[in-house]
Amino acid sequence: MASINISYTGTAGEECQHALTLEQAVRLLAGKDFWRTQEMPELGLASLKWSDGPNGARGENWTDGKAAVCFPCATSLGATFDRSLVQEVGAAIATDSLGKHAYGLLAPTVNIHRYLLNGRNFESYSEDPLLSGYIAAAYINGVQSQGVSACPKHFLANEVENGRRWSDSVIDERTLREIYLEPFRILIRHSSPLALMTAYNACGGEYCSQSKELLEDIVRGEWGFKGLIVSDWFGTYSTSAALNAGLDLEMAGPTKFRTQKMIEDALASGELSIDTIAKSVQRLVNTLVATKRIGLADAADIAGKLPERSSVPDEKTISLLRRAAADGMVLLKNDNNTLPLSKSATSKLNIVGRPAAEPSIFGGGSASLRPAHISTPLSALQEQFPSTTYSRGVWVQRLVGLASEIVTPGSDLKLEWFNNMTGEADSKDMFRSETLTKSEYMMMEDIHAGLVDIQSFATRMTIPITAPVSGAYQLSLTSPGSQDAYLDGQLIASIPRGPGSGSTEEVVTEDYIFNRARLERTFDVPVQLEAGKQYELVIVSKSSKHSPKYINREFYVQGSRVGFAPVMDDEAAIAETASAIRAASPSANIVFVGTSTQWESEGFDRVSYALPLRQSDLILAVAAESAATGVPTVVFINSGSPVDCTPWINSVDAVVQAWFPGQEYGTALVDVLTGKVSPSGRLPTTVPRSIENTGAGDMTGKTDGPKGTTTKIVYKEGLSVGYRGIKEDWYSPLFAFGHGLSYSSFTYSDVQVENASSVDASVSVTVKNTGSVPAAEVVQLYMLAPESVEDKVRPALELRAFAKTKELASNGGEETVTLKLSRESFKFWDVSAKKWRVEAGKYKLLFAGSKGVGDWIDAAGDVVVSVPESLQWLD
């Protein structure tokens, strides 16, 4: 058998060459555990630990790890249109990743906002491929400037979460090239990421992790990508097919498809070659070299096992967090210049809504982390304006509140583990005891020491509680397995789940990671408690008997979540809020609404475009009270993706889309509210009037078929994604792509086109701040489709360049912005020629104003570039 040779330059500049045995090479083709690659100290190779991003480096603990710095989500960063800022953010997150000893960051997410209800849209930048690609490239350049490997994901066409492991994205060739491949092509060209992650789903009939056309032909062949291609976690589905397609590293480990025997059998059958293995191993080695994971001396470091450090952000990082959050906020509406609030308007502020005190600063799934600190809107506003009053308003979460919220002060919440299915106290089978901070836990793959059988154990959670108020309390139980609940020794609830329990309900264990609402069970008869009285709530949770049938599409998860909270009466809460406003006679009402990790997350799609539960009714009630006394109503939307504003948009004075803004939300919000910062964010995605006003429409229930059956998702709208559908009958935005108001005003003048008869033209424009406050401006340049005989399906217009000015001084501060074009600005994919093509002709360019697409700025005459001859190429 031919040898497998690797080579690299050592830390002292020496050339290192090694001949690997097949056993050594095979070990390097997959992770050794959930987060780490395999070390090989005899060859000078250390383990590389990965960490989830993209809004912060969480580290390896999913639920209760070390503190991490939490930056704004991707939609917020996309809304800045600011490559320089995003590069700073990427560098800061990478610095935090190094504190977790993670030299690979699983970020950024670069999928397209095709489907309005995609639960993970908050983790991607935009509906536009150009904006997505360049913002992602900036993020990657920042990350890799600190010696950390970025790993953009999920390649390719992962635009839904429901059914993502079984779906096949069916996309016509031209749309695939121009919309979905394009951001990845841009980021590879402009940032050279060290790694790339494949998606779970199939695209065009073949799973992405084993698609030779996507990985070998396009990514490596056409684009010249030299880095490591990594599977999404448990996203490898074959041995030979995946390796032959160019999938270098199977994650997570231990391997499911790259065992020694599997590789030997594939070699013996001729399905796999030694050369293919050697190339994948060398690409992993190259990544280790680039991240300085070679030539290390410390054994724990070599193994990737150095202890993680909690993040303590310095003043520079705090300032960046605050600036990034403020710059991403989009002022959607501002009637009568309600914002910034005047001194009189802030004299007696009234705050309404639970998201003011309990904001959502990140989305669910891989983006979740334990923040180092949270500046809440309520605390920041009360610090700035001590007379501020507050009403909690309606419930906003999908799940019942945790029982740990009412734990008796000074008492411990205890969790005991037993190698039996009874969870009996004081059992000799107990092998682990721990104290929890929350009434929930999760175990996944990393099995606790002492556990004999993962399908035959139980836990006992003991929660000492004191009722804060008298009345009805709602109990909720969530787990992949069966659960029993006892209150002061009496059985009050029992939930059977999974095989052998007597229940016929199908349990998907992965739901406990992401979509716990699908597993949560509540009870028709609430529990009555007395205020001030102490109780003992005990929950026995039994391990799931579920055996994964489909390798890597199902995996083992065990856990338990216990909710126990006063039954909510939202009608009464709305009435109490209105009454409190009348009693307080505020100078302005600020309403905080939004979603959370329970509504927007990896692993499931949103259930509705509407604001969850009764939040729209709360806004209307507050607006009615404001109108009665002539004070303004301001709404801050704390969601990672757009929500339906139509029920109340005409009843309020000002609206700010704050996204999931990271841990300095409160301070950033005060900056915007008071005018210290003029909003400069622009919508990176269209806000439609309804889900029917989108190209994809409502796909609820259409993407997740039976297990073992591939569900085809047809991208029926083709190129008409978001604002590109401006000529379609369904297009009706409430707020268009690129929309974002300012506290100031701007003029565009002195437009100059250099090389106006070439694809390498550049357009310069002088932007002047004509308003009374300092402010920055986002310059957006769109290209109209030329009048073409040959190309009839080209979108009516496309964003072709963008830039952001520095903060311009009030009353005349100006900056000349130059936007460079290239042949890529004029191209379309020629399906028959299988190449990019530019048609000769005249191309009109337009600058968008503060209301985005459709709000065209009169820049003193047409701006036109003439392309003298047609071009074709492939790259």
- Which sequence positions are flagged as catalytic? 232
Give just the sign of the alpha carbon dihedral 799, 804, 809, 812: negative
Alpha-carbon distance values, 606 to 62, 117, 698 (Å): 22, 5, 11
Angle, helix 665-674 to helix 315-328, in steps of 10 degrees: 60
Question: Among 673, 669, 588, which residue's Cα sits nearest to residue 349?
Answer: 588
Compute and round to an integer the Cα radius of gyration of the chain: 28
What is the bridge-based pairing of β-strands 471-478 and 483-487?
A: unpaired
Contact yes or no for 51/105 (Cβ under 8 A): yes
d(CA 423, CA 442): 17
The tokens of 605 are what? 């799609």
DSSP secondary-structure letter at 649? Answer: G
Cis peptide before 254 (omega within 30 of 0): yes
The tokens of 178 are what? 């121009």
Residue 591: CA count within 13 A, CB half-sphere: 32
**Three-state secondary structure call for residue 461:** strand
Burial code of 567-599, b = ≥16 C-beta within 10 A, e = fewer? ebebeebbeebbebbeebebbbbbbbbbbbbbb
CB neighbour list of residue 310: distance below 8 Å, 6 or more residues apart? 66, 67, 372
Gap between the terminal Cα atoms of the chain = 36
What is the bridge-based pairing of β-strands 871-873 and 835-838?
A: antiparallel
Alpha-carbon distance values, 31 to 427, 549, 857 (Å): 37, 22, 53
**Three-state secondary structure call for residue 451:** coil
**Three-state secondary structure call for residue 724:** helix
What backbone phi and psi angles, to 5 degrees, belong to 300?
A: -65, -40
Dihedral Cα 297, 303, 304, 305, nearest 10 deg: -100
Q: Which residues pair with 33 in a beta bridge?
A: none
3-state helix, strand, coil in the chain (%, to 5): 25, 25, 50
Question: Among 783, 739, 745, which residue's Cα sits nearest to residue 761?
Answer: 783
d(CA 731, CA 410): 57
The tokens of 229 are what? 């291609």
Residue 291: CA count within 13 A, CB half-sphere: 36
d(CA 180, CA 171): 9
d(CA 662, CA 754): 41
Nearest 5°: the CA angle 56, 57, 62 is: 105
d(CA 44, CA 28): 13
d(CA 594, CA 415): 33
Residue 15, judged by CB atoms within 10 A of its CB (0-12, 13-18, 19+), counts as exposed
Q: E strands within 143-280?
A: 149-150, 167-170, 195-197, 202-203, 206-207, 228-230
